[in-house]
Every structure is written in C-alpha cells, then in structure tokens.
Structure 1
Amino acid sequence: MPDPNRRKLLRRVAAGVALGLAGVAASRLLFADDTPALLRDLPTGADARDRAFSERIAQHFPVGTSEAQVRQQLAAQGFTVRAERRADWQHARYPCRDFAQVEWEVANGRITATRALVWQACT
C-alpha cells in the first residue's frame, strides 16, 4: 500500500514544477526581445551605432533592390512602413525609448539610395 505522505509530497512537487514551467513560459512571452535583427548587436556610442546601422541597411538593401522587397522585409521585422518611403520602429524600455528610421529613394521601383538613423531618448 503506497504511503499517503509520499503521494502528497509527489503531488506538491509536480504542482511546483508545473507552476515553475508556466512562469518561465509567461516570462518569455512578456519579456521577449522584439528588437529587429537589423538593429541587434549594434555598437555603443551614438555615432558608431548610426554608422553601423546605416551600413547594415545599405548592405541588406543594396542599390537595385526592389522597393516591394524593402517594404516587405522591414514590415516583417516590426517596422511601421509609411507611404512616403520611410519605415519607423520604436520600443519603450523604461526609462528609455529606442527609435530607428529607414528612408529610401526609388527610380523605376528600385532602390537608388538609403538613409538610416537609430537613437534613444531617456527620461
């Protein structure tokens, strides 16, 4: 005959494990890093960060890339794509808010130039 105290202990351990796993899953959903891949691992320092982001955008969307592809890829990464050939991204991480902006010029549906900025504002 199984020991009733052992059964209680096993139920409590199982409940604790289930709650722990639920907590881990919830924290991953709530605190997921939604930073677009184009913005990840940029250097620190405003000038270096801007240069690196501009270079990354120019490499990712070289002259000749279709505008439709630029719009689709930026939207897929969480940027808000505007009608005026601009895409914006922002994310609040108290006490700061991160911003990024990509602009482009087009001729015949193809990219002829890009500009990119990234900055942070803190309270």
Structure 2
Amino acid sequence: MDGLPDLTFSDDDDETSARSARQAKLHQTESSFQAQKSSWKPICQTKQAARRLNYRVDRLPPESKELALEIKAAAEERYYAREYQTALALAERGLKAAEGVLHASERRELEGVRGRCVRRLAK
C-alpha cells in the first residue's frame, strides 16, 4: 500500500453544520417562522413548465408512460401553484390514462393529488 495516498473519511463537518442548522430552526421564534413561511412560493421549472402548462385536459389519454408522467408532474405543479381546479382535472385525466401505464406507486401519488385538490376545493 505504499503507492496509495493517506485518505481519511470524516463526516464530522457535515454533521456539525446539519446540527447547527437544526438548532437554529429549533430556536427560531414564531414570528420569524411565520415570516419565512409567508415568503415561500413554489418554484416552477420554466423550461418544462411551458410544455406541461400547454397540455390540454380534453386531449386523448396518453399512450406512453412518459406522457402519463408528464401529466402527473403537471398536476403536482399546478397543485403547488394553488391552481386546484386545473390540478384536479389533470389528475383525473392522468388516472384515466394510468391504467396499465403507470406503476402502482405513481398511481397512488396521482390519487393523492386528486384527493388533496378535492379537499382544497371543498373549503
């Protein structure tokens, strides 16, 4: 082992910074938390969002998994942008298309988006 450099592996720096960030959050005041919470806005990836937002709900169901996943992503994005009606329509359209195309876990996620939209619209 003469030709190998002396390597040491340590996660101490990462753990220390993670602990200090956690401690800062734990000792945060309610007013600073509310200010931080109210300033949060969902971030949309503009390159992908342009394609997804132009997706029309009344189109035929997608025949490929990629298109079904795109509908799922668009529904999630619209939910976080607080456009619940559009997100609900996309989720329902994606669920119709999901039969035999999406994995069971992806289908459950889409059903979760639909359920959250229904609850938000009922308020």
> Could you state the TM-score of these two structures normalised by the residue count of structure 1?
0.27
| Structure with greater proportional strand content | 1
> Could you state the TM-score of these two structures normalised by the residue count of structure 2?
0.27
> Bigger radius of gyration, 1 or 2?
1
| Structure with greater proportional helix content | 2
